[in-house]
Amino acid sequence: MKIEVLRGGICAVKGVRAHGIKEGNKGLALIEGKGKAAGMFTSNKIKAAPVRFAKKQLEKGEGRISAILANSGCANSFTGEKGMRNAEEMAELASSSLGVDKEEVAVASTGPIGEQLDMGLIERQLGEVVNGLTSGEVGSTAAAKAIMTTDTFHKERAISIDTGDEERVVIGGIAKGSGMIFPHLATATMLSFIYTDASLGEEALRRSLKDAVDNSFNMIVVDGDMSTNDMVLLVSTGKGGKISEGDFKEGLNFVCKELAKMIVRDGEGATKFVEVRVRGAASVEDAREVAKAIVRSPLVKSAIFGERLDLTCGRIIAAIGGSAISGDIESSEISISLKNENEKEVLAVKKGEFMDLSGVARDIMKEKEMIIDVDLGMGGEVEATAWGCDLTYDYVRINAG
């Protein structure tokens, strides 16, 4: 199996058209592509109207989606029955404009919580978006830009998978997210819409999506706050070649990890990208929990922003100890090393003892990217990776309004 990165995002997939527009902070994106679908949604106890509506649509539409309509600038969250009616009206507008079954239209929203949608604006924007629908790469980019909120760049990725047959399989996705990023999908907000032309059954799609989300979007943290609107939708047009479930999972994992890392790199106010690798845990679940605890810690994130290697290591230790893992941690077995993008590396903790860091140049912390490698020494051979960013003055400024 060979993976090749393509241009075109979601529009690299056969059977997909897209477009979007942005007017100030109000945007609208429309994606047309019919096929079997799977979705994962926020675990927040207060779910936004579009999340509840999209889940029902997948159930009523028998696992099929024909179109996705997503707006930015208003989350349509904590909006009561009127919010649900507006979500349904969004689906009706898309259904009428495209001539597709209303029950096969999913909707998504992102923006401030507690505001009602401007349905007049959405209806007007939709007319322009429908006229601009295209299978060219500009359609994917326009849709990705339309759903941005505090994002500083749009996020899209596409790949083709060579399975050895004459026909290749393509997977393409777009995403948005910059703040309010601590997804817990059991599936500002993270949204991702992923399309493929692979010919796969519904259960294979669901299993593949859960596996990919667990290894990507569920392993990123910007600020530790979970949105009411998080959503990932996967749609298969079935117009491409056949592929084994294992190969498809590998490709989908690649796309989702790429999109997830883009979200973290674009974290609100962030100046540094941090990858945390944890090994030696008793289980994968424990390894994931420790990795996320480290990238979630405001103290760790602040020390990384301050480029304080001495403070960073002590705070990593505290985050490990405070993580909700099932087994006991033996502090004398923990080792921690840090490496930056220039391949400079320092062993900071070895078997429970801090190393002498007095002669270590501070520039180990100065680069824009950093890897923190943690060995818990609990005997397990599992590992997990999480991605995060530093916590800066600008994050407070952005979120202070």
Rounded Cα distance, 112 and 100, in Å: 30
The torsion angles phi and psi of 139, rounded to 5 degrees, stand at -65, -45
Catalytic: which of 187, 237, 312, 385? 187
Side-chain-side CA neighbours of 101 within 13 Å: the count stands at: 13
- What separation in angstroms does the CA of 95 have from each of 105, 130, 373? 7, 11, 49
Rounded Cα distance, 166 and 340, in Å: 41
Catalytic residue check, 187: yes
| CB 274 within 8 Å of CB 370 | yes
Catalytic residues: 187
